[in-house]
Amino acid sequence: MKIRLAAPLQGDSVVDGFGVRTVIWTQGCSHNCPFCQNPQTHSFTDGEEYDVEEICAELDALENQNGITLSGGDPLYQIEPVVEIAKHAKEIGLNVWCYTGFTYEEVLEMGKKNPKYLELLNYLDVLVDGLFVNELKDLDLLFRGSSNQRLIDVPKTLKSKKVVVIPESDGIYEGYQNKKEKLYI
């Protein structure tokens, strides 16, 4: 199975989620949010194709990374390979974040037609959802660009069947030191 990426995997990111992360920049997005931070990822034909097995092997070789972040573009436009990568990351003890322009509620609706969207939720620790809206841009927000976007604790959301937003507070990742530990205490 192939996935189209905007760039090779980027390790050691500290701005794309809690801890030290490897970012997987997917290629392709039709949201076209004005003032998007990554407009070069919008085309569905740019970037390069990679084998999912190759990406998983790179994840196996990671050192000193707490997790992966699926970003782009919008990873949900390549749902099948993204599910395989997220599943593998969880199997090897990494936590998984995903950025999407779709809302959590839209993902649930999309899952009615294609269950892969619902399957993906089972492998995510955090979903950062919603379009970037420049009029709502706020540089003080944690790991997101505009105030309409949410940091969703996916396991708690799935368990409670209502959206659980991660609170912005000091110490949210206190004790979060290696890839085997939980997202926060």
- Residue 98 contacts residue 124 (beta carbons within 8 Å): yes
Q: Which residues make Cβ contacts (< 8 Å) with residue 104, sequence separation at least 6?
A: 127, 129, 150, 152, 157, 163
pLDDT in tens, 95-118: 999 999 999 999 999 999 999 999
Question: What is d(CA 24, CA 11) in angstroms, rounded to the nearest whole number?
Answer: 9
Looking at residue 32, what is its pLDDT? 86
Query: Of 58, 79, 67, 69, which Cα lies nearest the Cα of 3?
Result: 79
CA quadruple 100, 102, 104, 106: dihedral sign: negative
Is the pLDDT at 72 greater than 50? The verdict is yes
Looking at residue 102, what is its pLDDT? 98
pLDDT in tens, 117-163: 999 999 999 999 999 999 999 998 989 999 999 999 999 999 999 99
Residue 134 CB-half CA count within 13 A: 6
Indicate the pLDDT class of residue 169, thresholds 50, 70 and 90: low
